Amino acid sequence: MDADKYTPLSQGSAAFREYLTAQAVVAHVTAQALGLGPTDFFGLNLIALAGSMTAGELADRTGLSTGAVTRLVDRLERAGYVRRVPDPADRRKVVIEPAPDPDGRIDAVLAPQRTRMAEMFADYGPQQLEVLFDYFARAATALRETAHQLQRP
């Protein structure tokens, strides 16, 4: 490894690691507040971001076995967070989609985080926000690719 290649990243390494750890902690306590385990909350977030997906797609995105995903979806469905519906393109398939949140419990739990993040983002100008959101998109891709790399021997 070329040590110079990692110098800029190394300079911000502690801050980046703290950020990732804080994200993990927030996800964990958010899951608890919603009566979910962290993996279930993670799965719910993936489903919500996609709008809908099959159990196989969820297994691929999480790295979980199809059996584990079935149990995860069962728990989310029992808790009222998702529902299984026939795939409109192929009625032999079932897709998982987020269920409506009529009592607003998800929004209520996420409100403090959304408020704090909005306050923080208000300190940045339009060009800075553009860089931040570009970073989020590019970092998400890099992290997903890293996860897939680690999942494959």
Q: Encode pLDDT of 67-106 as tens digits.
A: 999 999 999 999 999 999 998 888 888 999 999 987 899 9
Q: Decide if pLDDT at 153 tops 80.
A: no
Q: For each of the domains in the chain, give its residue range(s) and CATH number, in order of start.
A: 3-102 (1.10.10.10)
**Overall size of the chain counted in residues:** 153
What residue type is assigned to position 85 of the chain?
V
Place of tokens 């891709």: 141
Give the pLDDT band (50/70/90) at residue 9.
Answer: low
Q: What is the pLDDT of residue 96?
A: 97
